[in-house]
Every structure is written in C-alpha cells, then in structure tokens.
Amino acid sequence: MQRLFDTTSQDELMAAKMLLESRGVPVYVGGEGSFRINRRMTAYQRSLWVFLDQHYEDALRLLDDPAHEVTEPVDVAAFYEAFEKQKASPLKALLGVESDAAMNWLLVLVVIVLGGMALFALRGV
C-alpha cells in the first residue's frame, strides 16, 4: 500500500476516491489524524492510499489527468469483497479455505492429530 496524499478536505478526498475507483484502482482512506491550526482551531487530516503498489504511478497520473488510462485496472467491487472476506477470517485466507464447513473439518483434523500426538507422548513416558 502506498500513500497518495493527505488532506483536510472531505470533498477532495471523496472526489479522488470516486475517480480512482471508477477507473479500477481500489483505494483505502486512512484514519483521521488531527493537528492544531492555531489555538482555537483543530483540523482533521485524512490520507488516501492505493491498495496495490502497481497502481501507484497510474493513480498519481490519473489524479493529474482524469483522461489517463490505467494499465492494470481491477474489478474494484470484487477486490473489496475479497479484502473484507480476508479481513473477517485471516486464518481461512492463510489456509486457503473458503467455507466455514471446510474450516470446521480442518480444525477437527488438527484436534485429532494433536490428541494422537499427546496420547503417543503419554505412552512413551
């Protein structure tokens, strides 16, 4: 992931996000950070990031020139869906398991193997 820019303008942030996503570049909006402008005012700064490093240069060019063609666009909706699934269950993503039933069988298998190893260790003592 690479940061494109920081801004205090929600309008600027959303316009850039919509442009990039419409051209096949999934983005992440960074959390709010605050900084003091003067003694009375505090501003909130947000960051816009590209998820995929290969989109960084295209994203910068696209922000400068909305007519720029992205070289490797992706299906943004499918990307976000896959990202949410991985975020919801990183273990399933790590093991390459997609369904809850498959994950349950895998966990049962692990328990059986570990139980067998424990019994074997106890007999050897």
Domain coordinates in residue numbering, the chain: 2-75, 89-125
pLDDT of amino acid 54 = 95
Nearest of 14, 12, 19 to residue 61 by alpha carbon: 19
Fold of 2-75: Alpha-Beta Plaits (3.30.70)
Residue 61 CB partners (closer than 8 Å, separation 6+): 68
Q: What is the mean pLDDT of the chain?
A: 83
pLDDT of amino acid 44 = 75
Q: pLDDT tens digit string along 21-57?
A: 999 999 999 875 555 555 665 567 889 999 999 999 9
User: Could you tell me the pTM of the whole model?
Assistant: 0.64
Provide, rounded to the nearest whole percent, the portion of the chain with pLDDT above 70.
76
